[in-house]
Amino acid sequence: MMITKKAIARRTVLRGLGAAVALPLLDSMVPASTALAATPASPKQRFGFVYVPHGSIMRQWTPAQEGANFEFSPILKPLEDFRKDVTVLSNLANYGENGHSVSSAMWLSGTFPAKGTNLKLGTTVDQQIARHLGGDTTFPSMEFATEDHSSHLGSCAGDFLCSYMSTISWASPTQPLPMEINPRVVFERMFGGDRATPQERRARLESNSSLLDAVRESANALKLQVGARDKVRIAEYLDNVREIERRIVRAEQQRDETGIEAPATPVGIPENWEEHVNLMFELMALAYQGNLTRVTSFMMARELSTLSYPQIGVADGHHPVSHNNNIPEQVAKKIKVDIYHLDLFAQFLDKLRQTPDGDGSLLDHSLFLYGSGMTNGNQHDHENLPTLLVGGAAGKHKGNRHIKMAKSTPLSNLMLSIMDTAGIDTEKFGQSSGRVGL
Amino acid sequence: MIVGFSRMRIRVFAVVGVWCAAMVAVASHSGLLASQQAQPRPAAPASRPAPVQPVSSRAAAAPAATVQPDALVKQYCVTCHNQRLKTGNLALDGAELTNIPATAETWEKVARKVRAGQMPPAGVPRPSQADLTSLVAHVESAIDKAAAANPELRGPAIHRLNRSEYANAVRDLFAVSLDVAAMLPPDEEAYGFDNNATVLGISTSLMERYLSAAWKVAGVAVASPKITPSLETFRVRGDLSQHDHVDGLPIGTRGGIAISHYFPVDAEYVISPRLYRETVNIIRGLELAHELEVTIDGQRVGLAAFGGPKDEQANYLQPTLAGDEMEKRFQVRMPITAGLHTVTVAFIKKSSATTLELLQPFGRERIDPITPVGIPELDRVTLEGPFKPAATSASSPSRRRIFVCEPAAGQDAACASKILTTAARRAYRGPLNEAETRRLVGFYDEERKKGGSFTDGIEAALRFVLVNPRFLFRVEQDPANVAPGTVYRIPDLELASRLSFFIWSSIPDDELLTAAEQGRLKNPLVLEQQVRRMLKDERANALAANFAGQWLYLRNVRGHSPDPDVFPDFDHNLREAFQRETEMLFESIVREDRSVVTLLDADYTFVNERLAKHYGIPNVYGMQFRRVPVTDDARRGILGHGSILSLTSYNNRTSPVTRGKYVLTNILGTPPPAPPDNVPPLDETPGKQQSMRDRMESHRRNPACAGCHKLMDPIGLALENFDGIGMWRSTDNGAAIDATSQLSDGTTVNGPAALRKAVLQRPDVFARNMTEMLFTYALGHGVTYADMPYVRGVLKDSARGNYRFSSLVVGIAKSLPFQQRRSES
C-alpha cells in the first residue's frame, strides 16, 4: 500500500533497525492501529518538539500586538515567511524552583523533577502522543540532540541527576529516553547499515525472531531470582524486547508502504554545529516523509551549553552570553544567537513546506512546539516562557496569531491543547489548570 | 567607656550577622555529602601540620586541645548556626553533641567544612587548630563507633554494563578491537560517574542498538565470510595542524592520520584518502609537486604523486572533477589479513618551511577555511570492505581466541558445546546451569539444521550471548537461605565481578574467575594478591580513562573549543596532548604505586614537542610523549596542566570562579552550592577595560555572592598567570597580573606554587576526597554520609603508607560495603 499520493520512484530501500530487518508477520504482535486505515484524504499528523536552552530576551521576542496580523518581533523575524502557520504564546509558565535542570525537565513534562538519588519526573507530552499515534510507525518517536553530554562533566552537580538535563523526553516518570546525537546512527536505524540482499535480510529476520524469544525466556527466569526493586528493571528490559519485536514486524510491513530514497550515509558527527543541526533536521524530515515516525523531539542545544557561534560573530559560549547582566553588548549577542537558532529552524520548516504529503505539504500536517523551558538567562526563571507553535496540524491549528494568556498561565495548559490536537482525550496534564484556546 | 564598649560589641555582632547571611548560600548545599578527614593528627606545630603522620588514638591529639567540643561549638558555631538565623540552613544550638550518630548527616557536614579549613570563616573569631582538630575527631569517632556496631549497607542492585564496560568486555572475550562508541550511545552519569546503577536504565532504542551490535560483534568474532561490505570513514579534525610530523605516522612524513583498525576477515579492502578542499573545492598547495604515502603496519603499500602545474591548472578549471581524479590515484585496493592493523596516510615531508604569507604563522594551521593558499592537507580516509572474503580466516585473532577446539569428523556438536560454554562462562562471569547451556547450544543446532556451517552455528549462539541479560546486566541477588534484612558476605563470583569492573572496567579474566569459583576469593590474602596483580595489568589503564577521566573532568577536554581569534595557536594536536599528559601522570601513579598526592605535586610530567613548546620546556623534539622533570615550580601537578587549566576556562578567557570551584569540588571535596537563582548584575561600565580581578572584586562586594565567592575566587585568582589554554602570562588586558590572594583559612598565596603548597598543607583532605570518589566509582552508587565511616577506614590504613594508590584500592576491595550486603526486607 502506498500512503503518499505522489508517485515516488519505488526503489528497494535498505531499511533498518540496524541489522534487524523484515520479520515474518506475527499478527498478534501488531497493535491495533488506527492510522493504517488512514488514506490520503485523512492525512497523518506529525508532531515535533524543538528545544533551545537559556531562555531568550523576551522584550525582543514578544510581538507588540496581540491577535492576528501582529508584527513579527526582531527575534521571531525568521518565521515571518510562515505567518499563516505561526502562533506565538505569551505568559505561559512552569511552576518550580529556578534553574537549568528544572528548565529542561519541566518543559514537556509539566512536572517538577525529584531531587536526590532517584529519577522521577512525568511522562512527557511527546511520549503521550507517540503512544497514541505511534502504533503504525517503525519508531513511535525519535529523539535527537547535538551535544554529547559525556563531555559536560560537572555541569549537573547539585540536587538533580544529570538525566534531567540530557533529555526532554520521558517514556514514563522513571524512564528518560536517551537522545541521539550521531546522524550516522540515526541513518542506520532508518535505512540499515550494510548492503544485505533481500535473502540475507529474511534470514536475519528469522534469526532475530528466535533470538528475542530466547532472550525473553532468559529474562523471565532471571526475574524470578532477583529482588523486588530489580524486578522492575528486568520488566523494563522485557517491555523493550517486546517493543523491538513489534518494530521489526512494522519495519517489514512498511517496506511496501512508502519509498523514500536513502541519502548518502552520513560520516558521523560533523565538526561544524550548523551542519550537524541541518543534518539532524534533514533526517527528521525524511523520517516524517517515510512515515518511519510521527513524533520527534530535538534539543538543538542543551542547558549549560558550551557551544559558541563564531560563524555569527558570537565567540563567547552561549551560557556565559545568556548571563548577560543586562549589559547591552552581551544582550545583543544573546539576541543574535536566538535569531540564529530560529533561522535554522525556519530552513527546516521551509523544507517541510516544500515536501508534498497527501493533499498538502508535510508542514500542513505537522505541529511543532518550539521554545525554551527558561525565560531569562540571568534569573533562570520559568515565567513567560518563549513559546511558539508552527504548522497546520492537518487542519487542527491555525496560525497568524499572538495569543496573550493571563499572566502565569501553566505551560501544561498548552500541552493539554496540543494533546487535543492529536486526538488524545484527557483532562489533566502536569500543572494544567485548563486549556489554551487554539 | 561602658557605653563605648557595648557599642563595639554590637558592631562586632553586626559584622558577624552579615557574614552569617552571606554564608547561608554556602552551607545550604545538601547535594554531595561526604566529609573531610577523620584522622586525628598531632596538634603540635599548629601552624604547619606535618605531611602525613597518622596517629591511631585520639588521645595523642587531646593534650593540645584546650576547649571541650561542646563548649567550642557553643562559642564559635552557634553565633551564626542557631535556630533563629539558621545560617546555611544549619542550627547547632539544638544539636546534641551527646548523640552525634543520630544526626550524623549534619555532623558530617560540620566535620567536612571544619576539616577543610573553611569554617569558621575568615573574619570571625576562630579557635585554635588543635581545638578544631579535636572537635572533628570527637564527631567522627562517635559516628564511626556507631557504624561499626550497626553497619549501614545496601541491598543488591542491577548494573547494566555501560559503554566502556561493554567495549572492554567484547575486547577481552573475543580479542577484537571495535569502535563501540559508534554502536552504543554514551551513558548517563550520576554522582560524577557513568557506572551508577540508578541511571543505567534501558530504553527501546538502546535495546535496538544492543541487538544490532550483537550481529556486528558476533560476525567479526567468528570472522564470518558472510560479512557484507561496509564503509568506515575516518576524518582528520579540521583543527589538527598538518604542517609537521604527527604522532604515530612514519618518520619523514607530515600531516595525515594513523588508523588502528580491526579488519574482520581475510579479504580485500579499499583504502581511499581524500584531501581537504576549501569552500569552493580548491585543493591547497597544488602549485608544487607532492607525494602521498599509504602504509599498513609500517610497510608502504601506496605512493602517489600529485600537484605541479598540470594538477594545479585542472583544479582551478574544474575543482571537483580534478580533485576526484587525483583521489583515484591515491586509492589502494589490496588483500589484508584479519586482525588489528595500523593504516597510515601521510604526505612525504619536503621541507619544514611554512608558507610565505605570514611572518609568524599561528600554531594552528587551518584557521581560515576560505583562502586557497596553503599546503595540501588530508581530510579523511575511507576503508571499504571486505571484498572476496576467505571462507575461513585463519589469521583472525578472535577465531584463535574463541575456537578452543577443532571439530573432528562427527564431533561437531561436542566441540561447539565446548566453545560456547567457555565463551559464555566468561561473558556471564560465572558457570551456566543446564537450561542455559541447552538454550545456548540450541542456537548452534538450529543454525546447523538450516544448513549453516559450523562457524555460522557458533556465530548464531554468540549473538544470543551478547543480548543475554546475564551478559548485559551485572545481576546481584540475595541467596535463598538468607533471611530478609540480614547482613551477609556476597558470593565470591559477585566479588570477582565487582573487582574486575572496578579495576579494569571489564569482565574477570580466567584466573580471577577460577579463584572465585573455587571459593578462594573470600580469603583476604588471595583477594589482596589478585588486586595487586590486576593493578599491574595493562587493563588497569581503564582507571585513568574512566575514573580519572570523569573525576577530574578530563573527558571534557575533547569538547573544549577555545576561540581561535583569542587563541590562534590552539589546535587539536595540543588538545590531545593536554589529555594525554594528565592521563599518563595518573597511569604512572597507578603503575608505580605512588602516593596519590603526587597528582598535585609531581616533579615530573609527560610531554611531546607540541606540549613542551606550550609550556616553554626546551629540547623536546618529536611527537611521542616522554617523561621529563618539571623544573618550574608553578607547573607541578595537575593544577599546572593545560588540560585542567583549559577545561576550567571559558572559550575566550580564564574564569577564576570556575577554577576555584573546580579546586573546591574536585580536589578538596567541598563543592560550593549552585549560585542563587537571581544573580544580580555586575556593576560594569560598558567600554571600560577592567582586569579580571577588578570585575571579581565588584562581584564580591555583593553580600549574596560574597559567601561562596570568598572561597572560590582567591583560589582562581592565584592561577591567573595561566591563560585560558594554560599558557604562562604576566599581563591580562594590558594590566600586570596580581596573583596574590587570601584563602578562606587566612593563608595568603601569591601564585600557583603557593596555592599548591597551601592545598598540600592538608594532604588528608585531598586524599579523602579522592578516596570518596574512588569509593563511588568502585561501588557504582552515590556515596552518602552513611558511607563515610568506611571511607575513613580506608584512609586510616592508607595514611600509614602515605596514601599509595594500591592501598586505596586494596582498602576499598576489603571494605564492608564492597564485601557485604544487607538482604532486602
In tens, the pLDDT along A55-79 reads 999 999 999 999 999 999 999 999 9
Domain boundaries, chain A: 1-30+194-260, 46-189+265-421
pLDDT at B26 over 60: no
Query: What are the backbone angles phi and psi of residue B613, rounded to the nearest 5°?
Result: -60, -40
Query: CB–CB of A297/A168 below 8 Å?
Result: yes
Note whether A230 contacts B237, CB cutoff 8 Å. no
Per CB-CB distance under 8 Å, the chain B contacts of A233 are: 158, 201-202, 473
- Closest-CA distance of chain A to residue B793, Å: 24
Search chain A and give the residue with CA nearest B546: A150
Q: Which is higher by pLDDT, B595 or B65? A: B595
Q: Are residues B268 and B383 in the same domain?
A: yes
pLDDT score for B7: 41
Does B514 map to a domain? Answer: no
- Identify the band that residue B416 occupies on the pLDDT scale cut at 50, 70 and 90: very high
Query: CB–CB of B694/B739 below 8 Å?
Result: no
Q: Which is higher by pLDDT, B396 or B709? A: B396
Does B815 map to a domain? Answer: no
Cell numbers for A272: 561544524
In this complex, the residue of A158, A226, A325 whose CB is nearest that of residue B682 is A325
In tens, the pLDDT along B783-807 reads 888 899 999 999 999 999 899 999 9
Does B399 map to a domain? Answer: no
pLDDT score for A193: 65
Which of B155-169, B498-512, B563-577, B642-656 has the highest average model confidence (pLDDT)?
B498-512
The mean pLDDT value of chain B amounts to 86
Mean pLDDT, range A255-278, rounded to an integer: 79
pLDDT score for A196: 66
Residue A374 burial (CB count, 10 A): 29
pLDDT at B446 over 80: yes
Note whether A153 contacts B189, CB cutoff 8 Å. yes
Of B387, B403, B425, which one is at a domain's C-terminal end? B387
In tens, the pLDDT along B713-756 reads 999 999 999 999 999 999 987 889 999 998 888 889 999 999 99
Predicted complex ipTM:
0.82
Cα distance between residue B234 and residue A88, in whole Å:
44
Q: What proportion of chain B, given as a percentage, has pLDDT over 70?
A: 87
Cβ within 8 Å of B, A 218-277: 218-219, 221-222, 225-230, 233-234, 236-237, 240-241, 243-244, 247, 265, 267-268, 271
Note whether B206 contacts A240, CB cutoff 8 Å. yes
Query: What are the backbone angles phi and psi of residue B672, rounded to the nearest 5°?
Result: -75, 155
In tens, the pLDDT along B183-218 reads 898 898 889 999 998 888 888 888 889 998 999 999
Which of A231-245, B453-467, B563-577 has the highest average model confidence (pLDDT)?
B453-467
Query: CB–CB of A145/B188 below 8 Å?
Result: no
Q: Are residues B370 and B273 in the same domain?
A: yes
Spatial CB neighbours of B442, under 8 Å, sequence gap ≥ 6: A214
- Closest-CA distance of chain A to residue B201, Å: 7
Cα distance between residue B167 and residue B469, in whole Å:
16
pLDDT score for B18: 45
Q: Which residue(s) pair with B618 in the sheet?
A: none
pLDDT score for B689: 56
- Helix (H), strand (E) counts: chain B: 30, 18
Sheet holding A86-93, edge to edge: A67-68, A401-410, A86-93, A387-390, A366-371, A46-51, A295-299, A142-145
A6-20, B283-297, B491-505 — which is least confidently predicted?
Answer: A6-20
Does B99 map to a domain? Answer: yes
- Closest-CA distance of chain B to residue A325, Å: 4
pLDDT at A340 over 70: yes
Does B665 map to a domain? Answer: yes
pLDDT score for B96: 66
Polymer length in residues for chain B: 825
Q: Are residues B143 and B239 in the same domain?
A: no
Domain containing residue B245? 232-387
Q: Please provide the CATH number assigned to the domain covering A46-189+265-421.
A: 3.40.720
pLDDT score for B679: 61
Note whether A211 contacts B470, CB cutoff 8 Å. no
pLDDT score for A318: 93
In this complex, the residue of B439, B555, B662 whose CB is nearest that of residue A151 is B555
Note whether A154 contacts B478, CB cutoff 8 Å. no
The mean pLDDT value of chain A amounts to 85
Show contacts of A309-314: CB within 8 Å, 24+ apart. Answer: A309/A273, A309/A336, A309/A337, A309/A340, A310/B563, A310/B564, A310/B565, A311/A274, A312/A336, A312/A337, A312/A340
A376-385, B10-19, B803-812 — which is least confidently predicted?
Answer: B10-19
Per CB-CB distance under 8 Å, the chain A contacts of B469 are: 215, 218-219, 222, 234, 237
Of B761, B788, B811, which one is at a domain's C-terminal end? B761
- Identify the band that residue B585 occupies on the pLDDT scale cut at 50, 70 and 90: very high
pLDDT score for B663: 96
Cα distance between residue B709 and residue B715, in whole Å:
10
- Closest-CA distance of chain B to residue A281, Å: 19
Mean pLDDT, range B677-705, rounded to an integer: 64
Q: Are residues B601 and B746 in the same domain?
A: yes
Q: At which residue does the C-alpha cell 576547649 appear?
A: B67
Mean pLDDT, range B629-653, rounded to an integer: 95
Does B115 map to a domain? Answer: yes
Search chain B and give the residue with CA nearest A272: B238
In tens, the pLDDT along B319-356 reads 889 999 999 999 999 999 999 999 999 999 886 555 55
Q: Are residues B566 and B715 in the same domain?
A: yes
Of B346, B365, B387, which one is at a domain's C-terminal end? B387
Residue A36 touches chain B, beta carbons under 8 Å: no
Buried/exposed code over A315-332 (b: 16+ C-beta within 10 A; e: otherwise)? bbbbbbbbbbeeeeebbe
pLDDT at A12 over 60: no
Q: Which is higher by pLDDT, A180 or A117? A: A180
Mean pLDDT, range B494-523, rounded to an integer: 97
- CA diameter of chain B: 111
pLDDT score for A258: 55
Domain count, chain B: 3
pLDDT at A14 over 70: no
Query: CB–CB of B798/B813 below 8 Å?
Result: no
Which of B38-47, B141-150, B181-190, B289-298 has the highest average model confidence (pLDDT)?
B289-298
Stated as kind and residue range, the H or E segment containing A309 is strand A308-309
Indicate the pTM of the whole model: 0.87
pLDDT score for B363: 66
Q: At which residue does the C-alpha cell 578530563 appear?
A: B554
Per CB-CB distance under 8 Å, the chain B contacts of A379 are: 677-679
Q: Are residues B111 and B258 in the same domain?
A: no
Cα distance between residue B286 and residue B474, in whole Å:
57
The full DSSP string for B375-425 is: ---EEEEEEEEEES--SS-TT-HHHHHH--S-PPTT-HHHHHHHHHHHHHH
Per CB-CB distance under 8 Å, the chain B contacts of A267 are: 233, 235, 380
Mean pLDDT, range A331-357, rounded to an integer: 96
* Closest C-alpha to B540, from B553, B530, B525, B551: B530
Does B422 map to a domain? Answer: no
Does B198 map to a domain? Answer: no
A253-257, B129-133, B186-190 — which is least confidently predicted?
Answer: A253-257
> Three-state DSSP class for B617?
coil
pLDDT at B43 over 70: no
- Identify the band that residue B677 occupies on the pLDDT scale cut at 50, 70 and 90: low
